[in-house]
Amino acid sequence: MLLSLGVRGALVGHSERRQYFGETDETVALRTRGALDAGLHVIACVGETLEQRERGETEDVLRRQLAVLEPHPHLVLAYEPVWAIGTGLTATPDQAQEAHEFIKSLLDAPVLYGGSVKPDNAASLLAQPAVDGALVGGASLDVDSFKAICAAAERIPS
């Protein structure tokens, strides 16, 4: 149905879907597989809460979330630390790099960073070698802000 409407992709497993609609790692995997099998491109989101990060569980959480996903040419992952969604907090470039490297060690797919990307942090996050792009949330609602993030991305050497 989505393809017939011209939709080409889907965002699956966003932290708010997990939090407010009870999506689990298993339902995220089912939705991801279903969308890919139907011919959509998928961005599947993974990430830990602040409590999980503070307890040193980031890798365990990511390993669990990724264990149910399978490589696919139309699958892109987004690391969105839950503690950085709508809180004003963001991962440092080093934290993003470390998480992205770990994710890529488990599943061969491009990985976007998606936790409070803004014009003032986009360049430093996107400059990290393991960060393949950004999943921009609230900053995409302001044209000037989004243009500044796009300009920062264009300046990153490939």
Q: Catalytic residue numbers?
A: 14, 80
Closest CA to 9 of 151, 143, 135: 135
Q: Are 44 and 5 in contact (CB under 8 A)?
A: no
Closest CA to 134 of 34, 142, 151, 16: 151
SS (H, E, C) 66-123: HHCCCCCCCEEEEECCHHHCCCCCCCCHHHHHHHHHHHHHHCCCCEEECCCCCCCCHH
Integer Rg of the chain from CA: 15
Spatial neighbors of 39 by CB under 8 A, at least 6 apart, are 3
